[in-house]
């Protein structure tokens, strides 16, 4: 089976757009039903992740609407940045603004996991009219220091493995507390989302290791007040906050404050899961469907 046939069988096709500094950035396009007037959805992955994270969700959502799963610069099939200093959220927002312009998307629902949720909130601060509604997956305006420190221990550290079994076992050893109930098959699936088989036959993480140069979890300074203002830019829109019960990134207190801060925010907590939920857990997919199928209005013609 060719890549094109595999993509067609999976319901998606590859697309690329160009950043202002000339990078070819990749997205998966799940086109949805012909003639659908439903608001499209843009999915934005986490710090070291890629479009594969959203495949199952995108297939589900694309039964009713178009779904675009982006790969931020330096991840997956997007080109690596020439300057690692551009691996920052504001740059990702600018890249996404160019994607919207290139595809002619006026407004969309957003699904942002971790870093993708930060980018969603920042995007709302710049262009709130383009966001029809948002899913913020295990991220909020206030980020827990211990979670950042944990991420700093592995981001930008390249490792390679001879088989998918070795890769899965290694992930289980380092992240077992995040998904304590996972079986081996789930760890293998997770490895195949996060990693790729290189030309040398070794399995490695699918992102630019220099992303670690722009991230130091022990020294990251987040302007919490500014991020709350970004979150407030989502006011008047349907918002779903998903939190893993065991999360060390989004505290229960912050999640509850997000839900209480303004009308239209729903909070779903996933039992026995850390950072971050896969969005297929019991109750989560139903809440996502509720947001996009019931709480979002179909745009007027030409919107």
pLDDT tens string 141-182: 999 999 998 998 889 998 999 999 999 999 999 999 999 999
Q: How far apart are CA 93 and CA 252, in angstroms?
A: 27
Q: Quick one: pLDDT at residue 303?
A: 41
Domains of the chain: 3-144+219-295 (3.40.50.1820)
Nearest to 286 by CA among 266, 262, 259: 266
Q: How far apart are CA 195 and CA 214, in angstroms?
A: 21
Query: Is pLDDT of 245 > 70?
Result: yes
What residue ranges in 67-215 does DSSP mark as E strands? 67-70, 108-113, 131-137, 160-161, 195-197, 203-205
For residue 38, the number of C-alpha atoms closer than 13 Å in the C-beta half-sphere is 24
3-state secondary structure of 30: strand
Query: Is pLDDT of 1 > 50?
Result: no
CB 263 within 8 A of CB 110: no
Q: Quick one: pLDDT at residue 186?
A: 98
Report residue 69 CA to chain centroid gap: 8
**What is the β-pairing status of strands 203-205 and 67-70?**
unpaired
């Amino acid at each position: 089976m060719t890549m094109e046939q595999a993509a067609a069988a999976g319901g998606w096709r590859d697309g690329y757009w160009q950043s202002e500094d000339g990078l070819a950035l990749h997205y998966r396009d799940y086109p949805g039903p012909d003639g659908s007037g439903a608001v499209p959805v843009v999915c934005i992955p986490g710090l070291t992740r890629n479009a594969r994270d959203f495949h199952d969700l995108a297939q589900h959502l694309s039964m009713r609407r178009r779904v675009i799963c982006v790969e931020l610069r330096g991840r997956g099939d997007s080109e690596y940045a020439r300057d690692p200093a551009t691996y920052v959220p504001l740059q990702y927002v600018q890249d996404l603004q160019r994607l919207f312009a290139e595809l002619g998307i006026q407004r969309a629902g957003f699904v942002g996991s971790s870093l993708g949720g930060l980018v969603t909130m920042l995007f709302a601060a710049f262009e709130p009219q383009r966001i029809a509604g948002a899913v913020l997956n295990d991220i909020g305006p206030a980020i827990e220091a211990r979670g950042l420190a944990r991420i700093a221990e592995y981001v930008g550290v390249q490792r390679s493995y001879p088989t998918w079994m070795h890769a899965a076992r290694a992930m289980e050893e380092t992240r077992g507390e995040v998904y304590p109930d996972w079986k081996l098959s789930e760890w293998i699936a997770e490895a195949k989302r996060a990693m790729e088989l290189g030309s040398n036959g070794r399995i490695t993480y699918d992102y630019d290791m220099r992303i670690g140069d722009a991230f130091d979890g022990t020294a990251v300074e987040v302007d919490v007040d500014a991020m709350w203002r970004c979150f407030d830019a989502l006011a008047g829109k349907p918002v779903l906050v998903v939190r893993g019960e065991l999360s060390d990134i989004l505290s229960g207190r912050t999640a509850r404050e997000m839900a209480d801060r303004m009308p239209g925010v729903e909070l779903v907590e996933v039992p026995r899961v850390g950072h971050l939920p896969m969005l297929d857990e019991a109750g989560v997919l139903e809440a996502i469907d509720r947001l996009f199928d019931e709480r979002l209005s179909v745009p007027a013609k030409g919107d």
